[in-house]
Amino acid sequence: LQICGSAQLVIGAFLLWNHRQYSQIVKNQFWEPYAVLIGLGIISQLLCYFGWTSTSRKHRCYLGTFCAFQVLLIVILFLVSGWSVATKVHLIVPAELAIEASHAEFVAHQAPPDPTHIWNRLQRDFHCCGSNSLHDYKNSFPRSCYDPVNRELHSAGCMHVYVRSMEMNMVRVAVVAICSALIQSLGIFCVIQLTLLLRRPIIMLPNGDNQSIRVKRTREQLTPLSPATISRPSQHSGGSSSGSTKPPIPLKPVVPRVDPPVIKPTH
């Protein structure tokens, strides 16, 4: 759980930082999946601490609460994955319109040339030129359209390259969310088994009543999927079909002590 939370934090922060560098071109849109992934990473870290505390205290109520929150987090991760895929499908049209409007504004105000302008940085980093192609520039080309090594013009348009980059980032968010959900699903199985191991055995008293007793188990018996919990059944579980299971030892009935009456002498 901690590894999944750390992966969500690191990948989400990197994707958000990469998107914020050129977010003005698309009018600061499509950043929400990255922020949600970071938030889920923080929640996973907090939930990991809560699970560690519940396990160290061996408290069934805390473990049940942790398992419920874990299931809720897994459901949210699957929803985020589907949301990212849906965003990938629907971002093409609004992103292209925003890129065309931003490039038209850049062409209208490119004199004097600014090498730190966002479009110059985009064309230099993504090796593209213009919005659709290099023919978007009529008179001259910016220096960012030239390859710094062989001084050739970039032929690809920035619209296709940048939209493709955003689509791949949405796919990365979906993959991270699905992988985190699948890995955390294995933790639910371990928590359920640990909760069952912490259940108090029930013995039958001679008078027919049932009573739960507290049994001190070893560390191996409390470890999920350990040889002690798989190959050897619990010694205090009643009604087992195995012949090696010992029956519960009945408790001796307590006989009340009755003192003889004391007769005082009469005068």
Report pLDDT for 149: 82
Q: How confident is the model at residue 154 (pLDDT cuts 50, 70, 90)?
A: confident
Q: What pLDDT, in 10s, does the model give residues 206-263?
A: 655 555 545 455 555 445 544 544 444 444 444 444 444 555 565 555 556 656 665 6
Mean pLDDT of 63-73: 85
Q: Of the given ranges (25-29, 66-70, 102-106, 231-235), which has the lowest mean pLDDT?
A: 231-235
Prediction pTM value? 0.69
Which of 47-56, 189-198, 248-257 ranks highest by mean pLDDT?
Answer: 47-56
Q: Are 36 and 44 within 8 A, CB to CB? A: no
Mean pLDDT of 180-194: 79
Helix (H/G/I), strand (E/B), else coil: 29 = coil
Report pLDDT for 225: 47
Burial class (CB in 10 A: 0-12, 13-18, 19+), 208: exposed
Helix (H/G/I), strand (E/B), else coil: 83 = helix
Q: What pLDDT, in 10s, does the model give residues 199-221?
A: 655 555 565 555 554 545 555 54
Q: Are 28 and 118 within 8 A, CB to CB? A: no
Mean pLDDT of 145-162: 87
Mean pLDDT of 67-73: 88
Q: Are 163 and 128 within 8 A, CB to CB? A: no
Helix (H/G/I), strand (E/B), else coil: 237 = coil
Report pLDDT for 230: 46
Between 60 and 68, where is the model more confident? 68
Q: How confident is the model at residue 265 (pLDDT cuts 50, 70, 90)?
A: low
Mean pLDDT of 171-175: 94
Report pLDDT for 94: 92
Q: How confident is the model at residue 35 (pLDDT cuts 50, 70, 90)?
A: very high
Alpha-carbon radius of gyration of the chain: 34
Burial class (CB in 10 A: 0-12, 13-18, 19+), 195: buried
- Decide if pLDDT at 169 tops 90: yes
Q: Which residue stretches of the chain are H helix?
A: 2-20, 32-57, 60-90, 92-108, 118-126, 158-197, 227-230
Report pLDDT for 243: 46
Return the percentage of the chain with pLDDT > 70, whole number.
69
d(CA 21, CA 125): 11
- Decide if pLDDT at 83 tops 90: yes
For the four alpha carbons of 130, 131, 132 and 138, in that order, the dihedral sign comes to negative
Which of 61-65, 106-110, 154-158 ranks highest by mean pLDDT?
Answer: 154-158
